Structure 1
Amino acid sequence: MAPNPFPVPQAEIDRLHARLDDTRWPDVPSGAGWSYGVPPDHLRELADHWRHRFDWRAVEERLAADSVVVDTPDHAGVHALYRRSTRSDAVPLLLVHGWPSTPADFLDLLGPLTEPGDAALPAFHVVAPSLPGFGFSGPTRDLGWDVDRHARCLADLMSALGHERFLAQGGDFGSMIAPEIARRDPGRVLGVHVNALVGAFPDVTADDPLAGLDDAGRARVAELDLTWAERSGYAAIQGTRPSTAGYAMTDSPVGLLAWHREWFVDYDPDTTGQTPVEPDAYLADVASFWFTRTAGSAMRLYKEVPASSFCETRPPSGVPTAVLNLLGDHGVRVFAERSHRVVRWTEHDRGGHFASLQAPDLLLDDLRAFAHSLGPDSGDRPVPQGGRVTGEQR
Structure 2
Amino acid sequence: MSEIKPFHLNIAEDDLVRLADRLDNTRWPEQEPVDDWSQGTRLAALRELVAYWRIEYDWRRCEARLNAVGQFTTEIDGLAIHFLHRRSPRADALPLIITHGWPGSVVEFLGVIDELADPADPEAQAFHVVAPSLPGYGFSQKPSGTGWGIERIASAWSELMQRLGYDRWVAQGGDWGSAVTTAIGHQAPDGCIGIHLNMPIVRPNPEDMASKDPAILKAVQRLMFYQEWDSGYSKEQSTRPQTIGYSLVDSPVGLAAWILEKIYYWTDNQGSPWDALSMDQVLDDVMLYWLPATGASAARLYWESFGTFGAGNVAVPTGVSVFEKEILLTPREWAQRSLTNIVYWSEVAEGGHFAAWEQPDLFVAELRACFAKMI
* TM-score under structure 2 length normalisation: 0.92
Aligned equivalent of 1:380: none
Native 8 Å contact 1:5 1:136 kept in 2: no
Aligned equivalent of 2:288: 288
Q: Once the two structures are superposed, what CA deviation does each residue of 1:203-240 show, in whole Å capped at 9, x if it has no partner?
A: 5xxx6454888442133212321233111111110010
Instruction: Note if 1:326 corresponds to 2:323.
Output: yes
Structure 2 segments unaligned to the other structure (5+ residues): none
Native 8 Å contact 1:313 1:338 kept in 2: no
Q: Once the two structures are superposed, what CA deviation does each residue of 1:171-224 show, in whole Å capped at 9, x if it has no partner?
A: 111111112112223432121111123x12315xxx645488844213321232
Aligned equivalent of 2:193: 190
The one-letter amino acid paired with 2:346 is T
Distance 2:78 2:369 in 1: 34
Structure 1 segments unaligned to the other structure (5+ residues): 376-394
Distance 1:368 1:23 in 2: 45
Instruction: Note if 1:202 corresponds to 2:204.
Output: yes
Distance 1:257 1:36 in 2: 16
Aligned equivalent of 1:336: 335
Aligned-pair identity (%): 38
Greater RCO structure (CA 8 Å; 6+ sep): 1
User: After the TM superposition, which residues 44-123 of structure 1 pair with which residues of structure 2 at under 5 Å, given as runs?
Assistant: 44-123=47-126
Distance 2:75 2:334 in 1: 34
Cα distance, 1:273–1:23 mapped onto 2, change above 3 Å: closer
The one-letter amino acid paired with 1:320 is P
Aligned equivalent of 2:251: 252
Cα distance, 1:274–1:347 mapped onto 2, change above 3 Å: farther
Distance 2:91 2:304 in 1: 40
Does the residue aligned with 1:350 lie in a helix, a strand or coil? strand
The one-letter amino acid paired with 1:59 is C
Among 172, 176, 189, the alignment partner of 1:169 is 172
Distance 1:338 1:41 in 2: 44
Does the residue aligned with 1:135 lie in a helix, a strand or coil? coil
Q: Once the two structures are superposed, what CA deviation does each residue of 1:136-175 show, in whole Å capped at 9, x if it has no partner?
A: 0032221111110110111111122111221101011111
Native 8 Å contact 2:149 2:305 kept in 1: yes
* TM-score under structure 1 length normalisation: 0.88
Aligned equivalent of 1:132: 135
Native 8 Å contact 1:245 1:296 kept in 2: yes
Distance 1:184 1:51 in 2: 45
The one-letter amino acid paired with 1:99 is W
The one-letter amino acid paired with 1:325 is V
Cα distance, 1:151–1:213 mapped onto 2, change above 3 Å: farther
Please state how far the C-alpha of 1:297 moved relative to its aligned partner. Answer: 0.3
Does the residue aligned with 2:186 lie in a helix, a strand or coil? helix
Native 8 Å contact 1:326 1:349 kept in 2: yes
Aligned equivalent of 1:300: 300
Please state how far the C-alpha of 1:110 moved relative to its aligned partner. Answer: 1.4
Q: Which moved more, 1:335-344 or 1:282-291?
A: 335-344
Distance 1:168 1:354 in 2: 17
- CA RMSD of superposed structures (Å): 2.2
Native 8 Å contact 1:99 1:173 kept in 2: yes
Number of aligned residues:
368
Cα distance, 1:274–1:313 mapped onto 2, change above 3 Å: farther
Distance 1:237 1:224 in 2: 18
Native 8 Å contact 2:105 2:138 kept in 1: yes
Aligned equivalent of 1:230: 229
Please state how far the C-alpha of 1:112 moved relative to its aligned partner. Answer: 0.4
Aligned equivalent of 1:381: none
Native 8 Å contact 1:70 1:160 kept in 2: no
Instruction: Note if 1:278 corresponds to 2:278.
Output: yes
Native 8 Å contact 1:97 1:173 kept in 2: yes
Instruction: Note if 1:147 corresponds to 2:147.
Output: no
Instruction: Note if 1:42 corresponds to 2:37.
Output: no
Aligned equivalent of 1:262: 261
Aligned equivalent of 2:313: 315
Among 17, 22, 31, the alignment partner of 1:19 is 22
Does the residue aligned with 2:142 lie in a helix, a strand or coil? coil
The one-letter amino acid paired with 1:332 is P
Native 8 Å contact 2:118 2:126 kept in 1: yes
Cα distance, 1:273–1:106 mapped onto 2, change above 3 Å: closer
Native 8 Å contact 2:7 2:73 kept in 1: no
Does the residue aligned with 1:168 lie in a helix, a strand or coil? strand
Q: Once the two structures are superposed, what CA deviation does each residue of 1:97-129 show, in whole Å capped at 9, x if it has no partner?
A: 011111111112111001112232100100011
Aligned equivalent of 1:390: none
Instruction: Note if 1:157 corresponds to 2:157.
Output: no
Distance 2:8 2:253 in 1: 24
Distance 1:117 1:3 in 2: 27
Does the residue aligned with 1:88 lie in a helix, a strand or coil? coil
Cα distance, 1:266–1:181 mapped onto 2, change above 3 Å: same
Does the residue aligned with 2:242 lie in a helix, a strand or coil? helix
Q: Which moved more, 1:64-73 or 1:110-119?
A: 64-73
